[in-house]
Structure 1
């Protein structure tokens, strides 16, 4: 506890005087400025609650003591000895100067401070981040797991609040160190690295750890289940990756700060967070703010993350990007996940688990309200899909299959992996949701990527302002009245070269519709495909409806398919979307 804290205020004890007090109201400098905002697509539209508008200054009454209480009126007698007037003026000047210094010291660090750094950084040549010592990157997985943070040294543990922060040691996959700071009303403090913050288990290299190594990232802990138990709810570690979970979930898919040229022949550029500022929450706070500075060869950026843990953990993201050079493709709000195999194909030889994946589908909501569901696949070669949209309401990667028996894995618990749903804050204009499905043979590889690509961007050098909300949750964002495609199975059709596709739809109004209801399927496909047969009927086991159809795709080309069910003139399910590959 420092001298300021010991006195319960922001005035040093040395400035206090026992028998003289003056009540002074101080306006603290607001954290944010108010420039106009611009969407990632350059639409220039404002966002509710997301512009960089200053909040109303707050008032706090502090007690000072260098002056006599008779000075509260700030008036001087008409006749005073000159020496006393001079002394009084000197004291006044000292007081005003001290107050100005106090206000500056208590200025709240915020998003605009990081944005200023990002803008300055964009005007400088790119410098690769310093690498950690080679011996740390060569450790085995088990050796790295033996390095553990001492939870007794968690940031803010002594405060007794709801948030604690635990630090991550560099090594193995984490080849670069980042700087971490904390901020509060008294200023910004860098968190110093020390090997004493960690235990190294059976490892013998503890004496070789540099004293100024730095950190790989951090974990935020919060009492999700019980007041006395702190659970990890958010993790920042590696490049611009971060993950979060809600109550009763286990970590699964990741979000990223930015994707650059992902899946392009020129190769992907991986931006990284090089510096973090953790805003210390009040003791009873249920919200925490994190600021981050992003850097890469062509892009810099300032980020603000607002974390709200709970049944649904929500992370609000606000960012301002600056391009050093124009990237071929900027991916906004990128999500990364894993899909090894599901029910749409026979399981690989030797595998005992029915399915293995962190997510099993891409969900999109168009501005029209249409819900689009794209089941994921593990392709034989890179598969890239684009969904043209204007001002989408949202998109995300979901884990729709929530049955333990769909996975039978007591350790991985894939049925508890979170969904991640992106909601734009403000209009994003015209663009595309891009989905990349990458061939993979291991469940340790993230092979699914989805993000938004704006059609237009400001000129290089101009800021790109973006804002969105990520919902980490087990339930789905889709309207409860709409039926969902809960299973997709693909097999061989009855005619040469044809494919049989069986889709089970459940939920919404489907259970209320009797088997005699006039439910029809609407199937569309690329011009090179041929619909051979179709039928839709009540599923007597689930109470939902099953659509089965056969299609003959072209021999050497992929075929895009879309289907939904309608009752009378109304759609009663989401739109199922799929790509058949040769």
Structure 2
């Protein structure tokens, strides 16, 4: 999570304000004309299928790892963020610009932050043909260092444009992008990029070894057979400790769904093998904001981790920006789903033109039996919004040893909220303050927690009936002040509950709370890791 290349990549993307939405054209006077760019140059065809790709990944794992080439790196390094942004794709050269299918595919150019060349191939009728890089596919200013690059240098990644016959101009809008290591993103139903997903996470936040970032080295884009709302892409993964073959069935509808099928082969032992990893940013929110840290009320791509356990329990873990790296494990068997969510959708809570209120929530739905393991949440300190500092992933219980092979399938939902919401009240805010009661001396070492719930059975409670809250702490003393009351805004089912916690020392405290009425559970379970200060 702390390697220089990834941090630089995130800095570049933040400066663009939205991943994949960089300008698609420059002024004619400054740009190279891509006359005839629509005619792609392709290598000779070779047999291709997903089974062939799986066998290639298996065979590759038996060979020593060879780091990807950095072609013409002395020139590529001159394409810093500013220079890289000036080199834009000419959409006349898009794959499927005239069909078949609804979604043209465009490419990212190499640059300082994306220096590894990735092979791009088109699949049709059981064969694949590599797309040859040509400068005519890009708008390149006359004074750009990119003009010095050799022929056929390759691409950095790709993105999928909006439908050719859709409601927005496909030349300027895209809905999925793959760029850097095994990172990819999709746009949510609110038309805004935000958090990322990865093909795999290797040794994230492991104390005695650096995190590893395997690369997607080849992408195979399948030629559509109709005008539906899906596009299929295959990818080969390679890294020092792992190889893999991936299939992505991507659907553009209300939001975006991506059905992922992959096999993995380990070259080396892995301490923390992260399946279906999600990577997001949480700087601060209404929970606890240091004085004058920034002028905006909140800054985050996600505000919580939602869990649906194998036993059916619904959990909400509010995110933290801790003072040290922490790892939380939620043990489970055959989980029904998990995701990093952005629940706060009020613009005035952010007051920012990059639209944090529209950032997508991402839900992972496992397919098949994932067995024993844990959803692990990694939280890393950050002092700025340019760093993705939160990772959520499934980690199998069995040790990940060299020679092991894995197969996982799952479906990602890039939406505004959970695709399968519980029939319970949900947590909508977590706030911390001084313990005790107003007008009286505040006891030292006591923290007050206020949690807001909304909807579900709370909306139909009989008049005069108040829910009870059940709260536990891993250490410390709860009380004596505990209150549950309706929020005075006239919104049915909007309640808040508060309690005090007295605790000594600085070790984290695990908190757990839910609302009930008699034997009936009314809310999902709120979880929080409190770091005394």
Give yes or no for contact 2:272–2:400 (8 Å, CA) kept in 1: no
2:318 corresponds in structure 1 to 375
Give yes or no for contact 2:268–2:401 (8 Å, CA) kept in 1: no
1:337 corresponds in structure 2 to 280
Question: Cα distance 1:134–1:570, how it changes in 2: closer, same or farther (>3 A)?
Answer: farther
1:533 corresponds in structure 2 to 481
Give yes or no for contact 1:533–1:551 (8 Å, CA) kept in 2: no
1:207 corresponds in structure 2 to 147
2:524 corresponds in structure 1 to 574
Question: Cα distance 1:539–1:169, how it changes in 2: closer, same or farther (>3 A)?
Answer: same
CA-CA distance at 1:216 after TM superposition:
0.7
Quote the Cα distance in structure 2 between the aligned partners of 1:240 and 1:381. Answer: 26
SS in 1 for 2:456: coil
Question: Cα distance 1:321–1:174, how it changes in 2: closer, same or farther (>3 A)?
Answer: same
1:551 lines up with 2:491 in the alignment: no
Give yes or no for contact 2:49–2:126 (8 Å, CA) kept in 1: no
1:439 lines up with 2:381 in the alignment: yes
CA-CA distance at 1:370 after TM superposition:
1.1
Residue number among 125, 129, 137 corresponding to 2:68 in the alignment: 129
Question: Cα distance 1:348–1:270, how it changes in 2: closer, same or farther (>3 A)?
Answer: farther
Consecutive unaligned residues in structure 1, runs of 5 or more: 1-104
Give yes or no for contact 1:272–1:295 (8 Å, CA) kept in 2: yes
1:496 corresponds in structure 2 to 444
1:26 corresponds in structure 2 to none
Residue number among 246, 258, 272 corresponding to 1:303 in the alignment: 246
CA-CA distance at 1:528 after TM superposition:
4.2
Per-residue CA shift, 1:327-346, capped at 9, x if unaligned?
Answer: 11210000001111111113
Residue number among 461, 468, 471 corresponding to 1:523 in the alignment: 471
Question: Cα distance 1:511–1:139, how it changes in 2: closer, same or farther (>3 A)?
Answer: same
Per-residue CA shift, 1:164-211, capped at 9, x if unaligned?
Answer: 100010113212111010001162110101122111236431331121
Per-residue CA shift, 1:215-254, capped at 9, x if unaligned?
Answer: 1100011329935632311100000000011333211000
SS in 1 for 2:206: coil
Quote the Cα distance in structure 2 between the aligned partners of 1:296 and 1:531. Answer: 51
Question: Cα distance 1:449–1:286, how it changes in 2: closer, same or farther (>3 A)?
Answer: same
SS in 2 for 1:548: strand
CA-CA distance at 1:288 after TM superposition:
1.2
Residue number among 108, 112, 117 corresponding to 2:51 in the alignment: 112
CA-CA distance at 1:532 after TM superposition:
3.5
Give yes or no for contact 1:168–1:217 (8 Å, CA) kept in 2: yes
Consecutive unaligned residues in structure 2, runs of 5 or more: 1-43, 437-442
Quote the Cα distance in structure 2 between the aligned partners of 1:523 and 1:163. Answer: 50
Quote the Cα distance in structure 1 between the aligned partners of 2:228 and 2:419. Answer: 27
CA-CA distance at 1:353 after TM superposition:
1.5
Quote the Cα distance in structure 2 between the aligned partners of 1:311 and 1:348. Answer: 39
Quote the Cα distance in structure 1 between the aligned partners of 2:250 and 2:421. Answer: 25
- Which segment is superposed worse, 296-305 or 320-329? 320-329
Tell me the matched-pair count.
477
Give yes or no for contact 1:425–1:468 (8 Å, CA) kept in 2: yes
- Report 1:179-578 matches (<5 A): 179-185=119-125, 187-201=127-141, 203-223=143-163, 226=166, 229-230=169-170, 231-265=173-207, 266-346=209-289, 348-349=291-292, 351-410=294-353, 412-456=354-398, 460-479=402-421, 481-494=423-436, 495-514=443-462, 516-541=464-489, 542-543=491-492, 544-578=494-528
Quote the Cα distance in structure 1 between the aligned partners of 2:421 and 2:106. Answer: 38
CA-CA distance at 1:159 after TM superposition:
2.3
CA-CA distance at 1:122 after TM superposition:
0.4
Quote the Cα distance in structure 2 between the aligned partners of 1:432 and 1:467. Answer: 17
Quote the Cα distance in structure 1 between the aligned partners of 2:146 and 2:216. Answer: 26
CA-CA distance at 1:275 after TM superposition:
0.7
Per-residue CA shift, 1:464-523, capped at 9, x if unaligned?
Answer: 111111000013235352111101101121222010000110111212224521410010
- Which has the higher Rg, Structure 1 or Structure 2? 1
Per-residue CA shift, 1:245-270, capped at 9, x if unaligned?
Answer: 13332110000000011000111111
- Aligned-residue Cα RMSD (Å) equals 2.0
CA-CA distance at 1:108 after TM superposition:
7.3
1:164 lines up with 2:107 in the alignment: no
Q: State TM-score, norm by structure 1.
A: 0.79
Quote the Cα distance in structure 2 between the aligned partners of 1:486 and 1:233. Answer: 28
Quote the Cα distance in structure 2 between the aligned partners of 1:195 and 1:179. Answer: 16
Quote the Cα distance in structure 1 between the aligned partners of 2:529 and 2:297. Answer: 22
Give yes or no for contact 1:224–1:309 (8 Å, CA) kept in 2: no
Quote the Cα distance in structure 1 between the aligned partners of 2:135 and 2:60. Answer: 30
Question: Cα distance 1:207–1:458, how it changes in 2: closer, same or farther (>3 A)?
Answer: closer
